[in-house]
Amino acid sequence: MSEEKMDASPVASKASKFAWLAALITGLLSFVGLAMPLVLTHGATYDAPSWAFEEAFKRKALGAEILFGGNGAIVWPTLLLYIGILVAVALVLVGHFIKKEKQFLMIAMLIFLVAGVFFIVSANFYGFCNAQATVGDAVKNSPGFEDGFNDNYYWYIQNYIATCDSRLGVGAVWSCAFSFIGAICCLVASLSGEKYSVHDITEIGVLTASAIVLDVIFHYIPNIPGQACSISIALLPLYVIALRHGAAKGFLASAIVYGLITCATDGYGFFLYPLDYFVGFAGVAVLGLFRPLILGKTQTTYNIKGIVFIIVGTLLAAVVRLIGSGMSSIINYGYTLGAALIANISVFISAGICAAILVAVYGPLLSVNRLFPVDR
C-alpha cells in the first residue's frame, strides 16, 4: 500500500506541475470556436400592427460575424465571453510565474467556468440581442404602440425569439468544452499542495450542511415584492469556508455541493442551475481570494484592513451572483437587462447582512483560526 502511494505521488505532482500549461493551451483553443458556426438560427419577419410572425429563411449557420453586428445586433454577451477567456489566459500566465500566487489561477478558473456555462446559452444571447435590436426599434414606431403595445412588449420579444428558434453551433460547443477543460486544469494547478485532513472535511461538511438548513428556513420567508431573490443569510457558513479554507475549497462547497442540493430542494427546476446556482454561488469563492488580507498571520484582533476586505469580498461575491441570477431572468423569463437587475437587487441586501455578521464576529473568527489553523 505504501509503495503504491509513493509511486502515485510523483505522477500527481507532475500532473499538477503542468496543469497551468494545459489551462493555457485549452484557453487558447477556445478561440478556435470563432472559426466555426456559433449559432444556427431562423430569421423572422413580422408585421408590427398585427404582431404576426413568420420564418424569414431556412435555418442557417452564423459565425463570428454576429459578435460585431453581422446578421443582426452585436451579440455583446458572447463577445464578452471571449474577452473574459483572454483575461483568464493572461491570469494563468501570471499565476504560474508569480510563485505562491494561486489566487490568480482561481480567478482564471472562475472565469473559465462562467464562460463555459454562458456558452451553453449563447444561442439565447443571439436571440435576445437580435430581438431587442430588430423588434425594439420597429415596435416603438408602430401604430398603437403607446395605446397598449407597451404592456405586451415582453410577450412580443419572447415570441420573436421563439420564431427565430436559435440553436447552438459547433463553435459554441467547442468553446464551451475547452472552457470547462481549462477550468479543471486551473483547479488542479491551484489545488497542488492543498491537503484535505479529517478536520477540514468535517468542518466544511458541517458548515455546508448549516448553509443548506438556513436555505430551507429562509425559503419559506416571502420575497420582497418585485424581487426574484429572497433575503437570506444562508450563504454565511459558505463565506466562512472560503475565508478559512481558501477560494478553491469554497468554490467546491458553494457552487457544486450547496448549489446542486439547494437547486433540488428549492423546486424551481434544474434548468436554473447553471446560472442561478452554479454561477451565482461560485461568487462565494471570491471572498476566499482575500483570505491572506483578512486572516493573515499578523492579524490577531479586529483591524481596519480585514474589515474593509470582508466588505469588498462579499460585495464582489454579490456582483457575481447578480450576474448569474440577472442573466437567468433575461434568458429564462424574458426580462430586459434593466428589469433583471432590479428584480435581483436584493442579493446585495443579503450580502450586506452577511458582511455585517462577519465583521461582528471577525475577532472570534481570528481566534478560531489561530487556535485551529487550516493546514495549507
User: Mean pLDDT over residues 317-339, rounded?
Assistant: 83
Query: Is the pLDDT assigned to residue 146 strictly greater than 80?
Result: no
pLDDT in tens, 15-41: 567 788 888 999 999 999 999 988 887
Helix axes of 103-120 and 19-29: crossing angle, nearest 10 degrees: 30
Residue 113 has pLDDT above 80, yes or no: yes
Which pLDDT does position 128 carry in this prediction?
75
Give the model's pLDDT for residue 47.
Answer: 63
Confidence of residue 95 (pLDDT cuts 50, 70, 90): confident
Burial grade of 267 (CB within 10 A; 0-12, 13-18, 19 or more): exposed
Predicted confidence (pLDDT) per residue in 280-309, tens digit: 898 899 999 899 899 988 888 889 999 999
Chain centroid offset of residue 208 CA: 19
**What is the average per-residue pLDDT within 100-125?**
82
Residue 122 has a pLDDT of 82
Residues in the chain, overall count: 376
CA–CA gap between residue 143 and residue 145 (Å, rounded):
6
Q: What is the mean pLDDT of the chain?
A: 80
- By C-alpha distance, which of 198, 175, 216, 161 is closest to 336? 161
What's the average model confidence in pLDDT over 91-114? 81
Q: What is the per-residue pLDDT for 105?
A: 85
Neighbours of 164 (CB within 10 A): 24
Separation of alpha carbons 88 and 31, rounded Å? 13
Which position has the grid cell 489553523?
373
For the segment 195-207, the average pLDDT, to the nearest whole number, is: 81
Predicted confidence band at 359 (pLDDT cuts at 50, 70, 90)? very high
Q: Place 151 in a pLDDT band, splitting at 50, 70 and 90.
A: low
For the ranges 198-212, 213-227, 334-348, which has the lowest average pLDDT? 213-227
pLDDT for res 30: 92
Tell me the average pLDDT across 69-89: 83
How much is the average pLDDT of 216-221? 78
Model confidence at 66: pLDDT above 60? yes
| Residue 87 in this model has a pLDDT that exceeds 50 | yes
pLDDT surpassing 50 at residue 6 = no
What integer pLDDT is reported at residue 4 of this predicted model?
Answer: 39
Judge whether residue 7 has pLDDT over 50: no
pLDDT higher at 2 or 139: 139
Q: Is the pLDDT of residue 67 over 80?
A: yes
The more confidently predicted of residues 238 and 103 is 238
Of the ranges 29-38, 151-160, 364-373, which one carries the lowest mean pLDDT score?
151-160
pLDDT confidence band for 340 (50 / 70 / 90): confident
Query: Residue 342: pLDDT above 90?
Result: no
Average of per-residue pLDDT across 48-70: 71
Bridge partners, residue 167, by sequence: 40
How much is the pLDDT for 332?
A: 78
Alpha-carbon distance of 353 to 122, in angstroms, equals 34
pLDDT at 194: 62
In one-letter notation, the amino acid at residue 231 is I
- Model confidence band, residue 154 (pLDDT cutoffs 50, 70, 90): low
Whether 10 has a pLDDT exceeding 70, the answer reads no
**pTM for this prediction:** 0.72
Place of cell 408590427: 48
Determine which of 65-79, 200-214, 232-246, 319-333 has the lowest per-residue pLDDT on average.
Answer: 65-79
State which amino acid sits at residue 31.
Answer: F
More confident residue, 68 or 154: 68
